[in-house]
């Protein structure tokens, strides 16, 4: 019986290979027009998509194994405790316009990337200290880069460095990746064509990519995108909402795939900024760990995952999702839903429940507002569920939705809010990408940004552990420090993590070799291997 | 004649310029002007965030920005969109014709339907026709633009039809009320009693009374049409100025928003002034 | 048509009664979440089923009607009065007053008011009660919704003032307020009635759209506009006909208003 099953599987596998073919045009959508085609200046999702499909990188982090793999660099060696790196480059590689690729391009790219006028997370991560980058071209296929100070997570950072040509007349439009930009009609579409000089071949020695072209239509409305997918007008949707996932799944189960929990988290936090224009008694609540832990325990995360995300999410434990295999602190457990326990914790902190209304020591009724961005249905629903959950322990919550820029101004400049519900998108698995959030002096230290000195002992301890993990190359030491940060974050709950969403993608059965990953870009991370079945 | 035309032109230019300045001030004063979503990129340094904010505040001084903008406008430079990183002139060149076509078609549809049903209700005197027209008007005006537009999209009908149907109830309701009111006027009651036929009644008695208000309605229907076009363009991904305005509003894109305010003012104020002039001409002719 | 008027009156009365006595009619509180019965179809317990969070749709509808159907007509009345005042004054005075007032009206029509609304939200406290928030929203809609009608009314006023019967009245010594009350206002009634009638559904839906700016009804309080706007995902995602109930209610109520308004016009 098992042999019969194996035979059927083999036949199916062969038939898919037979019917799949080289060539064809893959079509999917961008949410907006790309703001730039210069890969070094990318700061929006649409431009990032084009960059991923067209740019060449020294190495790439495999989205399934989460390990760096050679691309334009065949090998590398980190020197001077993370201050320098020597890279050996792939020979005989050419840009889409025929210009040869060499170490001079890597030097040029790094100089451009670290130009003071360029503001991106990757360039900021490389700017490890005062001073300049020194590039030493050892040969056309070998280069050494020396940074002013050691750079944490140096290797993985190159996953975000697209190599541009120093000599091509097409400048940054000359592509080293599998495709190049052939046509762009603003607001309508971007057409990418196969790079004839792409260096990669498959195991049988066939030139990659298999596809002839990719058409990226600009489509802002996800509902219309889903409708077009259902009609067969596009071949994939990189991220679908749980509601659209269910709809497509009900039409044809093979239309959609759940790639498992992603690194994206939904979270809420209380405003702990001392100068915030909110009453002093509320600041007292928000700076109390007992209050924050009680609120965390009173939120039913299982229900949030089940109702808001239709089961396509898991309760979050902390700042590192379980899907981040290496860096997650496996000894941590999520705050279990326990309304009675939450109330006990609050009572031990001086709060009391009177006529279904919680009051603090001074008799002030416990009431606060949660702001979130308008137009995000799942966040509005989460806020409503939290409102209902907290009502059970006598806390009144007002839900306020604001347009994103207004919300951002309150969060980062006026600090005129009480609690905020938002999500984080974490593309980088390494803790160094979270430095600005966890360092008390960081801009992204959302509950109290840019502290001159750590406001609490536990924030001082987090600062210490973050610096330890950033200053060593020893993975075990880094992991131990990061584990400690995760533990403190859970105990102190400056940010209450709610759920980690699953990566939901829609890939047409016509698209072969797709292996959706929980990490960005989920559906097309292996774009050069994707094939289209005969239509 | 020339003097009144010059005065009208001057009034038009002043109003449009004031609209541009007032629009720029509203955008500047609204919260979130100095914020950029980019600030939330994980790992961005303090210096980078400050640089992003400073770039946003480069146009923070409204009078200076506006003077600079007007100077550019005189030289054919409409500035550069901050959110789309493209010259505003290119964006308007691509998208304005799309919206104008949609608007023209929608207004034509709305006025044809609205007038036909209002006149039909008067002419046919069928209770059922009136009820059907009233109910369809009521149903359309009660349906959110987005829902109607999505239904049209699902049915593979042009979403611009939805814009026409969204304006139609307003035209119909105003026109029908006007006709009904006219019919109650003493001299029209007398004319009816004398057996004047319905078409003659309409063309000789009702139209001369109703025409000034109808012409005024034509002028404001441009503004209504633009109001209905915006949500339809946004929800149906039509690449017109409505969609552009929404993108610009979300990211407080001052150069783009000022240009769009000027375009909208030119359209609405221009249409209204033309209609005013037409009304005067009709009034003189009637006198 | 008498029967139709009676039906319209009955519809409005029953809607008003249902809204006032929502607590006794609704099978549950509008905010109560039956989390194990989320997205359920109609049943005896939940006549219109439940929403994504398990809230009873029927309860949300009757409570939503209470908010929208009381406040929207008030806002419509406010915008109609403003339109009558601005348009009437401009038409009545004529000359430079008309030019200035109508110039301001034209400007009003062209400005991006979205940003004013965003600014208003910024100056309001975050801990506004849902009811205060919705009252402010409808008041704003009333204040901002007069301009198109003012133009039509100004044109109407000028037309009336040039008519023979007004000249006659003036010759007989009738002037000022009496002229406005006896001749001008009755003649402008069709345009004013249209403005009032059209504003009601427009404001109900606009209130829901202003939720995107932090105005309007905030959770968990429902509004009819909010429930109608939820139909967007019905169109795209789930063909559940019972979810059309809020739209049907809105259309029926608007129809009833229409019938009653035309009756008043006829009898006035």
Looking at residues A392-416, what average pLDDT do you find? 93
Question: Residues A43-58: pLDDT tens digits?
Answer: 889 999 999 999 999 9
C115 closest CB neighbour out of B26, B143, B174: B26
Element (H, E) at C88: helix C57-93
pTM, two decimals, is: 0.87
Q: Is B27 on the interface with C (CB under 8 A)?
A: yes
Q: What is the DSSP string of A119-147?
A: --HHHHHH--SSS--EEEEEETTEEEEE-
Q: For the beta carbon of residue A250, count every other beta carbon within 10 angstroms.
A: 12
Query: Are B36 and B52 a contacting pair, CB within 8 Å?
Result: yes
3-state secondary structure A484-508: HHHHHHHHHCCEEEEEEEEEEEEEC
| Residue A434: partners with Cβ closer than 8 Å, 6 or more residues away | A319, A426, B42, B43
Chain-centroid distance, C-alpha C223: 12
Which tokens belong to A307? 């109702």
Question: Residues A148-161: pLDDT tens digits?
Answer: 888 878 888 898 89
Looking at residues B14-33, what average pLDDT do you find? 92
Query: Are C28 and C56 a contacting pair, CB within 8 Å?
Result: yes
Residue scoring higher pLDDT (A511 or C161): A511
Cα–Cα distance for residue pair C54/C38, rounded to 1 Å? 4
At residue A17, does pLDDT exceed 60? no
Question: Residues A216-226: pLDDT tens digits?
Answer: 999 988 888 99
Q: Are strands A256-270 and A313-315 parallel, antiparallel or unpaired?
A: unpaired
Cα–Cα distance for residue pair B19/A114, rounded to 1 Å? 43
Q: For the beta carbon of residue C128, count every other beta carbon within 10 angstroms.
A: 19
Residue B38, pLDDT score: 83
- A121/B36 touch (CB, cutoff 8 Å), yes or no: no
Place A7 in a pLDDT band, splitting at 50, 70 and 90. Answer: very low
Element (H, E) at A3: helix A2-19
Question: Residues A303-330: pLDDT tens digits?
Answer: 999 999 999 999 998 889 888 888 999 9
**Segment 370-429 of chain A within 8 Å of chain B by CB:** 403-410, 412-414, 424-428
A398 closest CB neighbour out of C31, C126, C211: C126
Cα–Cα distance for residue pair B228/B145, rounded to 1 Å? 7
Cα–Cα distance for residue pair C113/C117, rounded to 1 Å? 6
Residue B121, pLDDT score: 81
Looking at residues C169-180, what average pLDDT do you find? 75
* Nearest-Cα residue of chain B relative to residue C212: B250
Q: What is the DSSP string of C142-192?
A: HHHS-HHHHHHHHHHHHHHHTSHHHHHHHHTT--HHHIIIIIIHHHHHHHH
Helix axes C147-161, C57-93, angle to 10 degrees: 40
C106 closest CB neighbour out of B29, B30, B269: B269
At residue A10, does pLDDT exceed 50? no
Residue C238, pLDDT score: 62
Which tokens belong to B151? 């239904």
Average pLDDT score, chain A: 90
Cα–Cα distance for residue pair C213/A414, rounded to 1 Å? 18
Cα–Cα distance for residue pair B231/C169, rounded to 1 Å? 48
| Residue A138: partners with Cβ closer than 8 Å, 6 or more residues away | A86, A103, A144
C151 closest CB neighbour out of B134, B173, B216: B216
Place A535 in a pLDDT band, splitting at 50, 70 and 90. Answer: low
Query: Are C1 and B127 a contacting pair, CB within 8 Å?
Result: yes
Q: Which residues pair with C235 in a beta bridge?
A: none
Query: Are A532 and A511 a contacting pair, CB within 8 Å?
Result: yes
Residue A136: strand, helix, or coil: strand
Cα–Cα distance for residue pair C105/C110, rounded to 1 Å? 9
**Cis peptide preceding A319, ω within 30 of 0:** no
Name the nearest CA neighbour of A30 among A268, A318, A316, A225: A225
Cα–Cα distance for residue pair C22/A159, rounded to 1 Å? 59
Query: Are B165 and B228 a contacting pair, CB within 8 Å?
Result: no
Residue C237, pLDDT score: 59
**Segment 85-124 of chain C within 8 Å of chain A by CB:** 118, 121-122
Residue A392: strand, helix, or coil: coil
Residue A342, pLDDT score: 97
- Under DSSP, the state recorded for A534 is -
Question: Residues A232-282: pLDDT tens digits?
Answer: 999 999 999 998 999 899 889 999 999 998 888 999 999 999 999 999 999
Integer Rg of chain C from CA = 22
Q: For the beta carbon of residue A86, count every other beta carbon within 10 angstroms.
A: 17
At residue A460, does pLDDT exceed 90? yes
Q: For the beta carbon of residue B281, count every other beta carbon within 10 angstroms.
A: 11
Q: Could you give the percent of chain B with pLDDT greater than 70?
A: 99
Query: Are A54 and A181 a contacting pair, CB within 8 Å?
Result: yes
Name the nearest CA neighbour of C220 among A300, A390, B147: A390
Chain-centroid distance, C-alpha B53: 34
Question: Residues A163-182: pLDDT tens digits?
Answer: 999 999 988 899 999 999 99
Q: Is C111 on the interface with B (CB under 8 A)?
A: yes
Residue C57, pLDDT score: 95
Query: Are C191 and B182 a contacting pair, CB within 8 Å?
Result: no
**B25–chain A nearest CA distance, Å:** 16
C-alpha to C-alpha distances, A319 to A338, A341, B253, nearest whole angstrom: 21, 23, 33
Looking at residues C147-162, what average pLDDT do you find? 84
Q: In residues, how long is chain A?
A: 535
What residue has token string 């919260």?
A: B31
Place A18 in a pLDDT band, splitting at 50, 70 and 90. Answer: very low
Place B24 in a pLDDT band, splitting at 50, 70 and 90. Answer: very high
Query: Are A501 and A313 a contacting pair, CB within 8 Å?
Result: yes
Question: Residues B126-144: pLDDT tens digits?
Answer: 778 888 888 888 888 888 8
Whole-complex ipTM: 0.85
Cα–Cα distance for residue pair A308/A354, rounded to 1 Å? 31
Residue scoring higher pLDDT (A356 or C162): A356
Q: Are strands A367-373 and A419-424 parallel, antiparallel or unpaired?
A: parallel
Q: For the beta carbon of residue C267, count every other beta carbon within 10 angstroms.
A: 6
**Segment 128-147 of chain B within 8 Å of chain C by CB:** 131, 134-135, 138-139, 141-144, 146-147
Q: Is A120 on the interface with B (CB under 8 A)?
A: yes
Q: Could you give the percent of chain A with pLDDT greater than 70?
A: 95
The widest CA-to-CA distance across chain A, in whole angstroms, is 78
Residue C268, pLDDT score: 31
- B207-216, C43-52, C210-219 — which is least confidently predicted? C210-219
| Residue A48: partners with Cβ closer than 8 Å, 6 or more residues away | A42
Cα–Cα distance for residue pair B212/A215, rounded to 1 Å? 52
Q: For the beta carbon of residue A454, count every other beta carbon within 10 angstroms.
A: 18
Contacts of C218 in chain A (CB under 8 A): 398-401
CB pairs under 8 A between A and C: 81
Name the nearest CA neighbour of C143 among C74, C218, C214, C211: C74
Contacts of B44 in chain A (CB under 8 A): 119-121, 124, 436, 443-444
Q: HSE of C226 in the Cβ direction (CA atoms, 13 Å)?
A: 27
Integer Rg of chain A from CA = 25
Burial of B198 (0-12, 13-18, 19+ CB in 10 A): middle
At residue A1, does pLDDT exceed 80? no
Residue scoring higher pLDDT (C217 or B246): B246
List, in sequence order, the alpha helices (H) in chain B. 2-29, 46-57, 62-74, 88-124, 127-142, 145-154, 159-183, 186-193, 198-200, 207-236, 241-250, 254-286
Cα–Cα distance for residue pair A421/A389, rounded to 1 Å? 15
Which tokens belong to C264? 């008043």
Looking at residues B79-87, what average pLDDT do you find? 90
Place A12 in a pLDDT band, splitting at 50, 70 and 90. Answer: very low
Residue B177, pLDDT score: 82
Looking at residues C177-198, what average pLDDT do you find? 80
At residue A424, does pLDDT exceed 80? yes
Q: What is the DSSP string of B206-241?
A: IHHHHHHHHHHHHHHHHHHHHHHHHHHHHHHT--SH
| Residue A155: partners with Cβ closer than 8 Å, 6 or more residues away | A59, A68, A76, A78, A85
B19 closest CB neighbour out of C107, C151, C231: C107
Cα–Cα distance for residue pair A142/C32, rounded to 1 Å? 66
At residue B155, does pLDDT exceed 50? yes
Cα–Cα distance for residue pair B129/C108, rounded to 1 Å? 37
Q: Is B90 on the interface with A (CB under 8 A)?
A: yes
* Nearest-Cα residue of chain B relative to residue C262: B177
- A501-515, B189-203, C170-184 — which is least confidently predicted? C170-184
Residue A422: strand, helix, or coil: strand
- Under DSSP, the state recorded for B125 is -
């Amino acid at each position: 019986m098992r042999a019969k099953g194996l035979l059927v599987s083999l036949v199916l596998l062969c038939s898919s290979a037979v019917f799949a073919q080289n060539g064809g045009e893959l079509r999917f959508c961008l949410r907006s027009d790309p703001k730039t085609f210069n890969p070094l200046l990318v700061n929006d999702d649409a431009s990032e998509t084009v960059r991923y499909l067209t740019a060449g990188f020294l190495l790439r982090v495999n989205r399934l194994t989460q390990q760096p793999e050679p691309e334009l660099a065949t090998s590398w060696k980190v020197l001077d405790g993370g201050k320098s790196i020597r890279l050996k480059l792939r020979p005989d590689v050419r840009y889409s316009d025929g210009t040869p690729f060499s170490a001079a391009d890597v030097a040029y790219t790094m100089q451009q990337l670290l130009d003071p006028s360029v503001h991106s997370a990757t360039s900021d991560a490389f700017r490890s200290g005062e001073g300049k980058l020194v590039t030493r071209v050892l040969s056309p296929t070998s280069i050494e880069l020396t940074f002013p100070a050691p750079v944490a997570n140096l290797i993985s950072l190159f996953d975000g460095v697209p190599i541009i040509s120093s000599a091509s007349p097409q400048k940054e439009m000359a592509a080293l990746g599998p495709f190049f930009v052939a046509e762009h009609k603003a607001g309508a579409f971007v057409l990418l064509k196969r790079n004839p000089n792409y260096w990669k071949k498959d195991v049988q020695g066939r030139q990659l990519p298999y596809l002839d072209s990719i058409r990226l239509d600009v489509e802002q409305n996800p509902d219309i995108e889903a409708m077009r997918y259902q009609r067969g007008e596009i071949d994939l949707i990189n991220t679908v909402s749980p509601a659209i996932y269910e709809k497509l799944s009900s039409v044809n189960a093979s239309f959609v795939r759940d790639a498992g929990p992603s690194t994206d988290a939904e979270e809420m936090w209380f405003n702990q900024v001392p100068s915030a224009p909110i009453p002093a008694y509320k600041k007292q609540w928000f700076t109390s760990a007992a209050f924050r832990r009680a609120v965390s325990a009173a939120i039913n995360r299982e229900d949030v995952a089940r109702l808001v995300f239709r089961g396509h999410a898991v309760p979050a434990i902390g700042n590192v999702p379980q899907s981040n295999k290496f860096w997650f602190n496996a000894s941590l457990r999520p705050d279990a839903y326990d309304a009675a326990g939450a109330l006990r914790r609050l009572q031990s902190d001086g709060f009391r429940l009177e006529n279904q209304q919680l009051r603090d020591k001074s008799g002030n009724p416990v009431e606060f507002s949660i702001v979130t961005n308008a137009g995000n249905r799942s966040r509005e629903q989460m806020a409503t569920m939290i409102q209902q959950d907290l009502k059970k322990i006598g806390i009144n919550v007002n839900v306020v939705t604001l347009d994103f820029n207004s919300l951002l101004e309150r969060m980062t400049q006026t600090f005129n809010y009480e609690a905020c519900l938002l999500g984080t998108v974490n593309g980088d698995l390494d803790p160094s990408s979270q430095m600005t959030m966890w360092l008390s002096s960081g801009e992204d230290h959302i509950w109290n940004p840019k502290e001159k000195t750590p406001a609490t002992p536990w924030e001082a301890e987090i600062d210490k552990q973050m610096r330890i993990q950033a200053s060593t190359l020893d993975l075990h030491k880094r992991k131990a420090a990061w584990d400690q940060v995760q533990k403190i974050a859970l105990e102190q709950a400056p940010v209450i993590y709610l759920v980690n969403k699953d990566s939901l993608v829609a890939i047409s059965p016509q698209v072969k070799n797709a292996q959706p990953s929980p990490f960005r870009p989920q559906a097309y991370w292996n774009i050069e291997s994707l094939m289209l079945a005969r239509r | 004649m020339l003097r009144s035309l010059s005065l009208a032109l001057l009034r038009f230019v002043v109003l449009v310029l004031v609209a541009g300045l007032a629009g720029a001030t509203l955008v500047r004063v609204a919260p979130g002007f100095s914020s950029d979503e980019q600030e939330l990129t994980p790992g961005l340094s303090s210096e980078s965030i400050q640089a992003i904010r400073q770039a946003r505040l480069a146009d923070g001084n409204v009078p200076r920005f506006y003077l600079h903008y007007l100077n550019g406008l005189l030289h054919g430079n409409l500035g550069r969109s901050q959110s789309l990183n493209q010259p505003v002139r290119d964006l308007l060149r691509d998208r304005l014709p799309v919206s104008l076509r949609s608007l023209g078609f929608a207004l034509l549809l709305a006025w044809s339907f609205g007038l036909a049903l209002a006149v039909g209700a008067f002419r046919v005197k069928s209770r059922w026709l009136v009820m059907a027209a009233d109910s369809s008007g009521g149903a359309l005006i009660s349906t959110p633009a987005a829902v109607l537009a999505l239904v049209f999209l699902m049915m593979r009908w042009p979403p611009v039809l939805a814009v026409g149907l969204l304006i139609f109830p307003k035209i119909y309701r105003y026109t029908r009320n006007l006709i009904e009111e006219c019919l109650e006027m003493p001299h029209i009651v007398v004319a009816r009693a004398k057996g004047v036929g319905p078409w003659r009644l309409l063309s000789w008695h009702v139209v001369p009374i109703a025409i000034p208000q109808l012409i005024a309605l034509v002028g404001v229907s441009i503004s209504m049409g633009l109001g209905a076009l915006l949500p339809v363009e946004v929800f149906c991904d039509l690449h017109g100025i409505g969609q552009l305005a929404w993108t610009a509003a979300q990211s407080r894109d001052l150069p783009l928003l000022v240009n769009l305010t000027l375009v909208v003012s030119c359209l609405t104020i221009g249409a209204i002034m033309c209609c005013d002039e037409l009304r005067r001409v009709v009034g003189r002719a009637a006198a | 048509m008498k029967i139709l008027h009676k039906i319209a009156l009955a519809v409005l009365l029953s809607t008003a009664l249902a809204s006032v006595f929502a607590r006794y009619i609704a099978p549950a509180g509008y905010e109560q979440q039956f989390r194990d019965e989320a997205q359920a179809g109609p049943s005896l317990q939940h006549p219109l089923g439940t929403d994504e969070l398990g809230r009873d749709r029927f309860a949300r509808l009757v409570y939503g009607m209470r908010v929208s159907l009381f406040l929207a007509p008030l806002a419509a009345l406010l915008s109609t009065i403003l339109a009558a005042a601005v348009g009437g004054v401009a038409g009545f005075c004529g000359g430079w007053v008309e030019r200035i007032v109508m110039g301001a009206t034209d400007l009003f029509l062209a400005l991006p008011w979205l940003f004013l609304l965003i600014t208003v939200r910024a100056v309001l406290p975050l801990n506004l009660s849902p009811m205060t928030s919705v009252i402010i929203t409808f008041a704003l809609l009333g204040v901002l919704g007069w301009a198109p009608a003012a133009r039509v009314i100004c044109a109407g006023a000028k037309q009336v003032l040039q008519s023979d019967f007004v000249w006659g009245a003036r010759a007989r010594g009738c002037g000022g307020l009496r002229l406005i009350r006896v001749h001008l206002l009755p003649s402008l009634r069709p345009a004013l009635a249209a403005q009032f009638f059209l504003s009601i559904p427009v404001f109900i839906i606009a209130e829901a759209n202003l939720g995107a700016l932090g105005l309007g009804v905030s959770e968990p309080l429902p509004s009819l506009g909010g429930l109608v706007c939820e139909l967007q995902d019905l169109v795209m995602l789930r063909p559940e006909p019972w979810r059309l109930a809020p739209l049907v209610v809105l259309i029926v109520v608007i129809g009833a208003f229409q019938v009653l308004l035309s009756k008043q016009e006829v009898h006035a």
